[in-house]
Chain A
Amino acid sequence: MRKVSVMSVKKNILSGLLKFVLASVAIVSIFLFSLYGSGIALHFAMVGLTGAILALGLNIFYGYCGQINFGSAGFFAIGGYGVALLEKYMHMPYFLSLILSVAVAGLIALLMTLPLLRLREYMLALGTLAFGLAIYETVSKGFTSYTGGEDGINMSKLKIFGTPVGDTFFFYVFLIATLLCLWVSYALRNSRTGRAMVSISQDEIAATSLGVNINKYLVQAFVLSGIIPALAGGLFVKWTGWCSPEYFSLKNSILILLAVVVGGTGSGIGAAMGGVIMFLLQEILVPLAIYEMLAYGVILCMFLLFMPRGIKSGITSFVKWLEGVGGR
């Protein structure tokens, strides 16, 4: 018979209570923030949440499977331009066009796996980089009569039942989308599929010898990491009301990669944190644009050299250290 000590029951109740209190505080503060947060605070929150969704998307392919992908901004662009073009030329309702462009992004990702997943390591880096650049060149220089070239496409205000909605509505939409992606990340990580993906990142040969169908799981991961950025793109351009090619340049692909590295590769909450941090940093650095590149370079090198597992593991080990101190 297992003995359950009174202490551990107490500890469980305490930690459950703590989680409940924390969750309620978070929900109430989010609610209050959405009601009373000023315009600029909501703006920053939305940019941060976009970053979180993008980083969560990349995390599945880069963090779980350990494969590099420089093409995230390409899928971000497919989502954004899909929504914009469907509205401009087909006058489609927004949420329908969002679903459709996310589906198209998934389909394109599925097609791109045919050439791209034959490659590994640096060749995969180059292939995905070429994909991202090709999408960027197409929307910014290629078919300028449709996409408006560098000027982009202006979008109408989103209306629900005839009434235009403001930032508060979008804040909730972004929040729900982020939580959805976070849930997908967690559910995936704790499933058979997710474990198979992590085994690929650790050793492909060992994974194969255990019966993991590498190609199948990489295709699934790549399609997921195409769909999620496309969702972010569709939401982002409708919120800003302007679909501009500059959102989708290679700089953003690098920023997304940086977000995953900073947050913590292979961890859902870590990637989300990294996304929020990096995209807020980018937004804050707008007035100091000339220092932007230097800042990214320094952050990238610092994290890879001194904290290669990201902020998430830094916090975890800090908490462990605290517990150790408290227990003494």
Chain B
Amino acid sequence: MEYFLLTLVTGISMGCTFGLVGLAFTAIFNASRVINFANGDLAVVGAFAASLFVFSGKAHPVIGFLAVLALPMMAGLLINWLVEPSVKRKAPIINSILITMGGGLIIVGLIGIYTNFSYFNTRYVFGTKPLLLGGIRISPQYAAILVATAVLSLAYWLFLNKTALGLALRALGINADMASLVGINTMTYRMLTWASSSIISGIAGFLIAPLIVPTALMGLPVVVNGFIAAVIGGFGYPLAAVTGGIILGLLIQFFSAYVHGGMAQLVVFPVLLVVLVFRPTGIWGLKLQ
């Protein structure tokens, strides 16, 4: 029972980090119909900034945390700057996907040169003493992930659905030309979206860093799992990305705990194909229709 609960909590927390990356995908997709394949690389930037400023303990925690927010944001704006021309001239979507990928490779390549592709330093900044929640012991890192995911996804949902700015962003995603006709400054709004989405990715990287051995190359599993989370949940819906992430995390953790440790990632792909074929709108997509 103890083992089951531990697996459950781990699965949900890992799933929440995938969900955060899926949320970042959703944010950019909703505003500009671009799939940002560099999201995992932005998470690497978050983890890297954290290892430089937070985990090392050299900077004041507040300044360190601001750096964790600022560096991924700058990286995201760089990619936006690269991808903006092809969004503007409505190039085939393949081009913009490949450009985000290229931007991610540039950023990770630079970090890799700096760190020589070895591990970043990490530390459990929230302590290691388990919290007791109704008889379940939760590591503070997992608790932080859960809280951050809940806050960020709810805030994003509220922002998108309850504010004028969110309405403008949704309009931008549906038809950019129309949006610009009614006075929405498309370029500024896209920059805003990229900045906020990159911050979400960066926070995901910062939170996941102590749980895995982060290197500059950790972006790939993060981006693939985040994208799969968003697809399973239903592409385009912020809360769906998080539920998809939790399902994915539970799947991976339970498979590796009870069936086979090494093949956990492998079980994801058949599931993804089944979802893509039989319910391409995701498990939430059907409900929302």
Contact = CB atoms under 8 A, between A and B. Distances in A.
B93 A115 contact: no
Contacts of A133: 224, 265, 269
B102 A304 contact: yes
A134 interface: yes
Interface in B75-120: 82, 85-86, 91-95, 97-99, 101-110, 112-113, 116-117
Contacts of A138: 266
A249 B204 CA distance: 25
Interface of B: 35, 82, 85-86, 91-95, 97-99, 101-110, 112-113, 116-117, 216, 220, 224, 227-228, 231, 262-263, 265-266, 268-270, 272-273, 276-277, 280
Given A119-B280, A290-B112, A296-B105, 20 more contacts: A62-B94, A114-B277, A115-B277, A121-B93, A121-B94, A123-B231, A126-B276, A130-B224, A131-B269, A141-B266, A142-B263, A293-B105, A293-B216, A294-B109, A296-B102, A297-B109, A299-B102, A304-B86, A304-B99, A305-B86
B272 A130 contact: yes
Interface string A104-137: 0000000000110011011101110111011001
A240 to B, nearest CB: 24
Interface string A289-328: 0111111111111001100100000000000000000000
Contacts of A257: 98
B106 A298 contact: yes
Nearest to B109: A294
B160 to A, nearest CB: 20
Contacts of B98: 257, 261, 300, 304
Nearest to A123: B276
Given A137-B266, A138-B266, A66 B97 contact: no
A290 B106 contact: no
A64 B91 CA distance: 17
A99 interface: no
Nearest to A257: B98
A300 B102 contact: yes
Contact of B93 (A122, A129, A292, A295): A122
Contacts of A78: none
B106 A66 contact: no
6 closest Cβ pairs, A-B complex: A294-B109, A297-B105, A300-B102, A297-B106, A293-B109, A134-B269
Contact of B262 (A130, A142, A299): A142
The interface centre, meaning the residue of B109, B263, B270 with most chain A CB atoms within 10 A of its CB, is: B109
19 contacts: A114-B277, A118-B280, A122-B35, A126-B228, A126-B276, A130-B224, A130-B272, A133-B265, A138-B266, A141-B265, A141-B266, A292-B109, A293-B109, A293-B112, A294-B105, A294-B109, A304-B86, A304-B102, A305-B86
